[in-house]
Structure 1
Amino acid sequence: MSENNYFKLSNKVVIAPFVAVISIWLVYWLELVLKTNFNQFGVYPRTFTGLRGVLFSPFIHGSLEHLYNNTIPLAILITTLFYFYNKVAFRVLVVGTLISGVITWLIARNSYHIGASSIIYLLASFIFFKGIFTKYYRLVALSLMVVFVYGSLLWYLFPIKEGISWEGHLGGFIAGLFLAVVLKAKTPAPKKYVWEQEDYKEEDDPFLKQFDENGNFVELEKEEIKEEIKINYHFKKNTNKED
């Protein structure tokens, strides 16, 4: 990666989560200043006006606790997305938000559904499944880390607690899985060992030469290497003259 590309990637990794976090906190601050709430801009199922929540609902939160609980995982997962899947990160966020919002609009209970948790489920789902599908060991390790840190999120895909939009969670989860399947993300080619390469010849392998056909160790004769030592003397003329 060139220095210029690395600089651009670093900027995205820092700026993207910063903008996301600032946006949701700014909306909540506006609610406090205006002494109102924007819940009516959330997703309201199967109504035309409720469709506006597909775009607006991730920015709206019902309480400070709700906002705080979404802030840290949102920042971490967006950072992870832009670092490991930089080429498709914006598409995942934009398309995934639309898909998860529409799913919520179709299946949810008659209530306003708000909060960035649908985006959190979208990102966790995409990062997990994409890592598994690529079969690249670092991304698989990342997937396992997501499970370890956010594995408890799976419980909230079901209606186990009143007041939580499990429909939004499920919509985000499905959207992340779908995008992990259809989006092509460039990943490093798996490392091939010497013996996996097409031009590999067993008889030329220096390691295998140390063993006979029965697998017994054979000590190779060491060729004496004569090193010629050459010493060069450099004389520097003294230009300082004494009176």
Structure 2
Amino acid sequence: MQQKDNQLSLQQQLKTPLLIIGGFIALLWLIEGIDQFIFHGALDSLGVRPRTLSGLWGILWAPFLHGSFRHLLANTGPLLILGSIVMLSRRLRDFFFISFIIVLIGGLGAWLIGPRLSVHLGASGLIFGYFGFLLLSAYFERSCRAIAIALVVLMLYSGIIWGVLPQGGGISWQTHLFGFIGGWVAAYLLSQREETVPITVHDPL
């Protein structure tokens, strides 16, 4: 009976993260389908356009937009896996906080240093942000769980770290770099917050 209860509890713990991440990815595919078949790619102009006032709005929209189905397909797997790991290892409100910090810093970085006439879009900033968060959490927290998660993430995705370096081919390395930095900042902020939580000690009577 207890084993069955444990299985149900585990299923419930997995259900919410997978529904949220899966729902987000489904939304990305829906938006890309609408963009390709109805707007013929015109929505891509809503991405981050560096050093333009209107381009700041792209910080909010860029993670939802992709240049093609191939672009979105390349992001789907890492986003599903890394996003799920972050959500399973954190409280739900912390997951949304982490995502917000990554999107904000990643978008601002692309807006500040991206080529002036370029447009930056895609969920890869979130991917690099989650990657950075999981790695740097091991450094800031130094717990067995955080270190184990970081090692697993490194085994799975260590190769993507080169994506933060300048490169051509229409790849927004600026978003990758600052998304990673956003994950770093989020890991630091959460570690500081947890350190300042007061511990209540009850004096036995």
Change (3 A) 1:14 1:186: farther
Partner of 1:66: 71
Segments of structure 1 that go 5 or more residues without pairing to the other structure are: 188-243
Partner of 1:201: none
Q: Secondary structure at the match of 1:17?
A: helix
Partner of 1:93: 99
Partner of 1:156: 163
Give CA-to-partner distance per residue, 1:106-153, whole Å, 9 cap, x none: 111120001110110011100111123211112201101211211111
Give CA-to-partner distance per residue, 1:196-230, whole Å, 9 cap, x none: xxxxxxxxxxxxxxxxxxxxxxxxxxxxxxxxxxx
- Find the aligned partners of 1:12 and 1:105 in 2 and give their Cα distance: 33
Which has the larger share of helix?
A: 2
Q: How many residues in Structure 1 have an aligned counterpart in Structure 2?
A: 186
Q: Secondary structure at the match of 2:182?
A: helix
Alpha carbons 1:9, 1:86 under 8 Å: kept:
no
Alpha carbons 1:12, 1:82 under 8 Å: kept:
no
Q: How does 1:74-153 map to 2 (within 5 A)?
A: 74-87=79-92, 88-110=94-116, 111-153=118-160
Calculate the aligned-residue CA RMSD, in Å: 2.3
- Tell me the TM-score normalized by structure 2: 0.83
1:182 to 189, 195, 204: 189
Runs of 4+ residues over 3 Å off in structure 1: 2-11, 184-187
Alpha carbons 1:60, 1:115 under 8 Å: kept:
yes
Segments of structure 2 that go 5 or more residues without pairing to the other structure are: 196-205
1:29 to 15, 30, 33: 33
How many percent of aligned residue pairs carry the same amino acid?
A: 31
Query: What's the CA shift for 1:6?
Result: 6.7
Partner of 1:47: 52
